[in-house]
Amino acid sequence: MTKARPGMRPATLATAIALSVLATPLTAGGHGATAHATGGHGDDHAAASNGHAKPASHDISLERPSQSNDDICTGFGPQAPRDIGMPLGTNTRHFTMAPPARKMNLCNIHTHTNAEHAGPGFMIYAGSGEHGGYKCNESDSLSAEDLMDPPHQEGAFEAVAPGDTLEVHWVYTTCDVKPGAGLGSCLSPTCSNPQLRVESQVFLLVNDPHALNFMDFAYQGNMANGLHQPKSLPTGTGRPVVFAGSTTGTKYTAKKCSPMQVTWSVRTGCARLDIGSVYKWGASHNVFEEHHSHGVRQLVTALELLSPITP
């Protein structure tokens, strides 16, 4: 379990909107840098099915917090985060799924230390509470070099360290707004009930300049077809699992549900990310005012709070 570090503090609006594999060197291309799943073959299907086989000794079902009918909220739509490898769900609240990310405005980028979701590439249970969640499967097999903090960079982005798992959320809105800090950046006085979408990727932070570079996925005033967009989104880490859910963040639990409706797109694999590039983003005075990683909302397991995932 990742220990709390100075700077890790309760959820802000940015965490509320969060609504929380080994990589090859960066590959140039119009659709983002490509990472390949450990043991996979560079194909999305291979990444999802072969690249992240569950360790024989690990039974994720034994480690999930149970949620009985007495422990869950009622009258709310489907919630997140969830185990994306488990497609069952009985929540009957329906809403129109958001358009593809390329047809929406990016409104926020933020991170969570440890994955909020569980998935094929990140299923090591890190404990309960806001500093729990899930870790990448390769977390315990890193080299001493991978775990060295780059000199003179520690603290540029707080609450992370080499060896940590990081879930990154790129949040999109149908409102005509500019990217900014927190939930408010995704709304406007004339657009208070937009469609929301979160593109999610889980990373394993390493001291490795040949790993993925977070600045390749950042926003620096980028526009495409008149819409605010990140430079790119990660590819090659498994076909994203798309489902109806909610915002996440530490203020919500199975008893205290989020009312927000969010279309989620969560990639199944974990990719190595150079921690130096995360420090650089934190020191860049990014428009999202993100200078530390956030805690996690615990996994939602009650079927009554989950939407069914269709292929």
Here the tokens at position 256 are 């205290």
Looking at the 3D structure of the chain, how many domains does it have?
A: 1
What is the C-alpha separation between 48 and 53, in angstroms, rounded? 9
The three-class DSSP label of residue 13 is helix
Please say whether the beta carbons of 299 and 71 come within 8 A: no
Is the pLDDT confidence value at 231 over 90? yes
Q: What is the pTM of this model?
A: 0.82
Whether residue 3 is contained in a domain is answered as no
Could you tell me if residue 57 is inside a domain? no
* pLDDT tens-digit series, residues 239-264: 999 999 999 999 999 999 999 999 99
Q: What is the DSSP letter of 294?
A: B
In a domain, 1, yes or no: no
State how far the alpha carbon of 263 is from the alpha carbons of 94, 163, 174, 191, 266, in Å: 11, 29, 12, 18, 10
Residue type, 12: T
Rounded Cα gap, residues 295 and 48, in angstroms: 26
pLDDT at 58: 42
Q: At a CB cut-off of 8 Å and minimum separation 6, what does 72 contact?
A: 254, 255, 257, 302, 304, 305
Question: Hey, how many other C-beta atoms are within 10 angstroms of the C-beta on 222?
Answer: 14
Q: Which domain holds residue 149?
A: 21-52+71-311
The answer to whether position 7 is within a domain reads no
- Contact (CB, 8 A) for 23 and 209: no
Confidence label for 36 from pLDDT (cuts 50, 70 and 90): very low
CA 255 from chain center: how many Å? 22
Residue 59 belongs to some domain of the structure:
no
16 inside domain: no
Is residue 162 one of the residues assigned to a domain? yes
